[in-house]
A and B are shown apart, each in its own frame.
Chain A
Amino acid sequence: MLLAYRLALASPRVTARGIEASEFAVDADRHGVHAVPAIVVDDRYAWAGSVPEAAFVERVLTAVSA
C-alpha cells in the first residue's frame, strides 16, 4: 500500500486508496479479489501480490494503457 501512496504523493494524476477487504467485501468481490494485497487500477483488477517498486510502477502504467 505504501508504494501506491508514494505514487500518489509523487504525481498529481494518481489517487491511492487502501481498502480493508473484509469490511468492504462487496467491493472486493466485485473486483474479483481472492488474495491480498490485490491491486485494482481504475476500477479494474490488475494483480495480486507484493512487487518491487519498479515493477509496481510498470504494472500500473501497463494497466492504465490496456
Chain B
Amino acid sequence: MSALGERDAAAVRDVLAALQRDVEVTLELGPSATPVTLVVAGGRDIDTGAETHRVVEAVCAESDRVTLAVIEHDEPGPWPRTTIGPGLEYLGMPLGYELTSLVHGILEAGRVESSLSQSSLERLTGLERDLTIDVYVTPT
C-alpha cells in the first residue's frame, strides 16, 4: 500500500506532471549519528528510516520522470538523507508540510529555467564564495 492516500497521490501526480526534465532522487538510510526517539499518537515509536523510505518511494512513483536510488549505510550519519537532483538535501522525514517541500523541490529541480526573479538571479551572480544554507523545519 502506498504511503500516500489516494487524494495526496493524485495531488503529487498533478504537481510532478509539470516536470520538464528527469530528476534523480537519492535516499540514504542507516543508523543515526544522533539518535532520538519520536513517538506518534498512540505511543508507537517511529522508525524514521523506514517511514522516510515509504514516503519518498511513494512520491517518486508518481512520475515517470523521477527515479529513486536507495543507499544503505552501515556507519552512523545524518540519515535519513534525501538528495534531489544536483544536490538539494533534506535530512529527516519529509512529513506534513515538508512533504510539500519535497514534492516542490523535485519540481524545482525538474525546471529548465530558474523560477527566481531576474533581480534575484542578478544578485546571486555577485557571490564571490561558496555558501551553505540550512533551513530548520518541523513537519507541521
Contact = CB atoms under 8 A, between A and B. Distances in A.
Interface of A: 1-2, 4-11, 13-28, 31, 33, 36-43, 53-54, 57-58, 60-61, 64
Nearest to B106: A5
Nearest to B83: A17
A2 B92 contact: no
B89 interface: yes
B98 A57 contact: no
B116 A53 contact: yes
Given A54-B120, A58-B123, A14 B92 contact: no
Contacts of B34: 24-27
B116 A2 contact: no
A62 to B, nearest CB: 11
A64 B94 CA distance: 28
Interface size, B (range):
35 or more
Interface string B128-140: 0111111111110
Interface of B: 32, 34, 36, 38, 48, 78, 84-94, 98, 101, 104-105, 108-109, 111, 114-117, 119-121, 123-127, 129-139
B36 A18 contact: no
B115 A6 contact: yes
A17 to B, nearest CB: 4
Given A8-B87, A24-B78, A25-B34, A18 B131 contact: no
A21 B10 CA distance: 28
Contact of B48 (A2, A6, A23, A27): A23
B36 A22 contact: yes
Given A1-B105, A20-B92, A25-B34, 12 more contacts: A1-B90, A2-B108, A6-B115, A9-B108, A10-B116, A11-B127, A18-B90, A19-B136, A20-B91, A23-B93, A60-B133, A61-B126
